[in-house]
A = this chain, B = another copy of it.
């Protein structure tokens, strides 16, 4: 339902930037041939909504370059981002006719698409495709469950620290800064971060300021930060596998109760 402006030509999959990680990663050269024939590229501009939740969705696709988000919306407009799509991530639900989320381009983006029916047919004949899609989906599921822990139980400060550390971990372009630190570009506006973290934009801004004040992060430009001490940041994120003394089992009285978010 949008434009279709292929902005560059990967005519063959050989040189595709996501060859190693996409749904096609396990396919051998022979299997790539039919895929090559039915795929097509689609590009969208930053800010554009690629798919509306509830609309018919007749294709599936992979992000080749750029970043997109999956969001869900409540009747009254409250929004929650439920996924962040980076290059090689897959969009679409084989076997389902309608989109379950809004998909929005955060940056200019290029997708490698296949119409749903041919994709489903091909999947039935190509175990390598099926296997890889299962792997990807299982990883997504783990990631979204980790996010549930963040949304349900972390404080605003921990949420921000977690988001930054996740971006730092996934951002291939993150490169070491001067004194052993790491510099990253935030691909999201404060509002998008708020939608991701289940916070308001103001709280996001305040917590970023607080982390800056406490020198956990250094603000280069609004969308560019450096992390002088990654361990410190991970500590702030709260999910270091064990805060210090190794507890578990033992006297249940020592185990604090859940919650603590408010």
Query: Could you list 8 A-B pairs, sorted by A, with CB under 8 Å?
Result: A77-B257, A78-B258, A82-B145, A94-B138, A127-B127, A151-B151, A191-B258, A200-B258
Q: Is A15 an interface residue (CB 8 A)?
A: no
Encoded as 1 (CB less than 8 Å from any B CB) or 0, chain A from 186 to 216 comes to: 0000010011011110000000000000000
How distant is the Cα of A142 from the Cα of B135 in the complex, in angstroms? 16
Interface residues on A, range: 35 or more
| Residues in chain B near residue A259, CB distance under 8 A | 78, 194, 199-200
| Residues in chain B near residue A151, CB distance under 8 A | 148, 151-152, 198
Which of B130, B144, B149 is in CB contact (< 8 Å) with A130? B130
Of the listed residues A72, A95, A151, A152, the one surrounded by the most CB atoms of chain B closer than 10 A to its CB is A152
How distant is the Cα of A198 from the Cα of B159 in the complex, in angstroms? 14
Q: Is A14 an interface residue (CB 8 A)?
A: no
Q: Is A242 an interface residue (CB 8 A)?
A: yes
Stretch at the interface among A3-11, A105-113, A168-176, A233-241: A233-241
How distant is the Cα of A257 from the Cα of B151 in the complex, in angstroms? 19
Chain A positions 210-262 with a Cβ under 8 Å from a chain B Cβ = 238-243, 255-261
- Say whether A243 contacts B135, CB under 8 Å: no
How distant is the Cα of A82 from the Cα of B146 in the complex, in angstroms? 8
Interface residues of A (CB under 8 A from B): 54, 70, 72, 74-80, 82-83, 93-96, 100-101, 124, 127, 130-131, 133-135, 137-138, 140-142, 144-149, 151-154, 191, 194-195, 197-200, 238-243, 255-261
Residue of B with least CB distance to A152: B198
| Residues in chain B near residue A154, CB distance under 8 A | 74, 78
| Given A130-B127, A145-B72, A145-B101, A153 contacting B80 (CB threshold 8 A) | yes
Which of B142, B255, B257 is in CB contact (< 8 Å) with A93? B142
